[in-house]
């Protein structure tokens, strides 16, 4: 089996779990964490949560995958915006995530945008990691 070369490695350390603090190894990210209230509003407006961080990472990664797909298709979109909606669901203390990826691609027609989003879902490392693990819905805006 051929080994892949490492493109990038990063690390983050969290202390005290979901009501704690997270720092990245490079010192760029240093955030307080807080569990949202049951109605979804922040329990600490100055803090974030793991789902928001996952949404940020997935939306950035998926946006780059759309650009890579566009290059493969010889298309040049004017702009790509991806909103990742991450939901934490629970039933009998069994927690699960689900994701909706809402993608707006300016400068290409609807059919091309749909093709790019499907192709990006094949290319994106986050999509590969979540495939067959959590529901991921794709929406083209």
| CA–CA distance, 74 with 71 (Å, rounded to integer) | 5
Q: What is the pLDDT along the chain (141 residues), one digit of tens a residue?
A: 678 899 899 999 999 999 999 999 999 999 999 998 888 788 899 999 999 999 999 999 999 999 999 999 999 999 999 999 999 998 898 999 999 999 999 999 999 999 999 999 999 999 999 999 999 999 999
CATH number at residue 6: 2.20.25.10
Tell me the residue range of the domain where 85 lies: 50-140
| CA–CA distance, 98 with 88 (Å, rounded to integer) | 7
Q: Do 62 and 9 fall into the same domain? A: no
- Angle formed by the axes of helices 110-123 and 50-72, to 10°? 120
Q: Do 42 and 54 fall into the same domain? A: no
pTM of the predicted model, to two decimals? 0.93
């Amino acid at each position: 089996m051929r080994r892949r070369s490492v493109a990038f490695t990063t690390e983050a350390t969290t202390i005290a779990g979901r009501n704690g603090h997270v720092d990245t190894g490079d010192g760029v990210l240093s955030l307080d964490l807080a569990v949202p209230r049951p109605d979804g509003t922040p329990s600490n407006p100055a803090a974030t949560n793991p789902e928001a961080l996952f949404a940020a990472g997935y939306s950035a990664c998926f946006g780059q995958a759309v650009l890579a797909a566009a290059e493969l298709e010889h298309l040049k979109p004017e702009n790509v915006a991806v909103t990742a909606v991450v939901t934490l669901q629970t039933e009998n203390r069994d927690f699960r995530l689900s994701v909706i990826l809402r993608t707006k691609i300016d400068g290409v027609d609807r059919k091309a945008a749909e093709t790019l989003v499907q192709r990006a879902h094949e290319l994106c490392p986050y999509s590969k990691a979540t495939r067959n693990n959590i529901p991921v819905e794709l929406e083209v805006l």
